Amino acid sequence: MFSSWRKTLAIIEGCGLVSLGLFFLNSAHLLVSGVAGWSIILTHWLPLSFGTTFFLLNCPFFLLSWFVLGRRFTFTSLCSIAFVSALTDSLLAIMSVATLPQWLAGIIAGGLIGAGLTWIMRHGASLGGVNIVAVWAEHRYDLHAGQTLFAADCIVVLLGAWVFNSWELIWSLLCFAVLSWTVGRYHEKSPLGRQHPGASTISTNPDATPRPFQ
């Protein structure tokens, strides 16, 4: 029970760091990686808040998580993303940052989100979307999560060119580089991935929990 509470508290702390990082990015009008970046882009065209768009876009990815990574992992990730969505919207509603340079916002946000994601993944959850794909790719193909996240970031930048100007894209790339570096430095590959780099299958037991997070 004590171990379970420690994991829950750690995931909440990680979600708080990610939400604060997303707040800085939204306030500075910069992009963020993965589904969060798609959400920021879509809020320019859809009458939905960031948190609502972020949550809805993540729903399809949870099918992959449910069948490949297990029910417990999926449920924990779903709770985490709901918490991040609500907390980010709350921060944007009650706070504002008007004088922070975009380049500094990108560095701060990249560090906060990278640290938060590392902490969340280390304790048996994710924030949906590309994070679920990163965990799956790490298990199946032995690809480090930081590499997968950075590749997805490059796609977000291409999409963001329709909405953001060149300087905003440059500072967003700076954020992505800091985020990827943070995850790459501090996120440890699972023992399963290190011991069986050539493994081609993952347990599809719907009640299974990924072994690295036990």
pLDDT for res 187 = 61
**Residue pointed to by tokens 């009008």:** 29
In a domain, 209, yes or no: no
What domain range includes position 153?
Answer: 8-191
> Which residue type does 29 have?
H
The lowest-confidence range among 13-22, 60-69, 172-181 is 60-69
Quick check: 98 and 59 in contact, CB under 8 A?
Answer: no
In a domain, 71, yes or no: yes
Q: Record the tokens describing residue 67, joined without a space.
A: 């069948």
Q: Is the pLDDT assigned to residue 8 strictly greater than 80?
A: yes
pLDDT for res 76 = 86
pLDDT for res 19 = 92
For residue 46, the 8-state DSSP code is S
In a domain, 213, yes or no: no
Mean pLDDT of the residues in the chain? 77
Tell which wins on pLDDT, 106 or 188: 106
In a domain, 212, yes or no: no
Q: What percent of the chain has pLDDT over 70?
A: 84
Q: Which residues contact 150 (CB under 8 A, 6 or more apart)?
A: 176, 177, 180
Q: Count of domains in the chain?
A: 1
Q: Is the pLDDT assigned to residue 108 strictly greater than 90?
A: yes
Q: Is the pLDDT assigned to residue 15 strictly greater than 90?
A: yes
Report the C-alpha gap between 186 and 176 in whole angstroms: 15
Query: What average pLDDT does this structure show over 166-185?
Result: 85
pLDDT for res 201 = 37
Q: What percent of the chain has pLDDT over 90?
A: 12
Cβ burial 132-164 (10 Å sphere, 16+ → b, else e): bbbbbbbbeebbbbbebbbbbbeebbeebeebb
Segments in 95-200 forming alpha helices (H): 102-122, 130-141, 145-160, 166-186, 191-195
> Which residue type does 74 have?
T
pLDDT for res 60 = 78
Quick check: 101 and 175 in contact, CB under 8 A?
Answer: no
